[in-house]
Amino acid sequence: MILHRMARSECRTLPRDTLCLGFILVLLSGIGLAGCQPAAEATLPPATTVAESQTAAVQSDGNPSAPTVADSTTTPAAEDEEVPTEKKPFQLTILHTNDTYGEVDPCG
């Protein structure tokens, strides 16, 4: 659009045929360039992807003992979309000990 306005004002002060021909050429080349822009942009990585991977790296460096399981959550959920399954009530069994003080026998 800026290219278009500049060409129109020059057309008024110079010989009409030359300038108008030039104007048309400039206008056409401008349209052509504009048409190429989306293709050029498509070759760049999306900005959000870059930002996410940088954030993950910082967290990993700052927390060397972070469990592996936690690291796996950086995988985008959208990639492995699963059909949501209906949740049901459930029961857990937990066996637990504490303060066994390195006892090996006789009491358990």
Partner 1 sequence: MARRASFIKEEQNSQNPLFILDAGNSLAGTLISLESKGGVIVEGMNAMGYDALTLGRMEFSLGLETLKEIEESADFDLLSANVVEKGSQDPIFDPYVILERQGITVGTVGLSEADVNADSKIKEQIQVLDPMETAQRYVDELRDQVDVLIVLSHLGLDEDRALAEKVPGIDIIIGGNTRKLMREPERVGDTLIVQQGYRGEWIGHLKVDFDAQGNLVDGEIEAVALDDSYTDDADMVEILEKWKALHPSPTPRPTSTPDTSTD
Contact residue for partner 1 among 38, 45, 46, 102 (CB under 8 A) = 102
13 touching partner 1, by CB under 8 A: no
Q: Nearest to residue 25, comparing CAs of 4, 1, 2?
A: 4
CA quadruple 6, 12, 17, 21: dihedral, nearest 10 = 10
* Smallest distance from partner 1 to CB 78, Å: 16
97 touching partner 1, by CB under 8 A: yes
User: Is 18 or 63 the residue whose CB approaches partner 1 more closely?
Assistant: 63
Contact residue for partner 1 among 62, 78, 79, 83 (CB under 8 A) = 62
User: Is 58 or 94 the residue whose CB approaches partner 1 more closely?
Assistant: 94
104 touching partner 1, by CB under 8 A: yes
Tell the residue number behind the tokens 């959550």, with chain if given: 73
Give the span between the Cα atoms of 82 and 72, in whole angstroms: 17
Give the span between the Cα atoms of 11 and 7, in whole angstroms: 6
Asked if 60 contacts 72 with a C-beta cutoff of 8 angstroms, the reply is no
List residues near partner 1 by CB under 8 A. Answer: 62-67, 69-70, 73, 86-105, 107-108
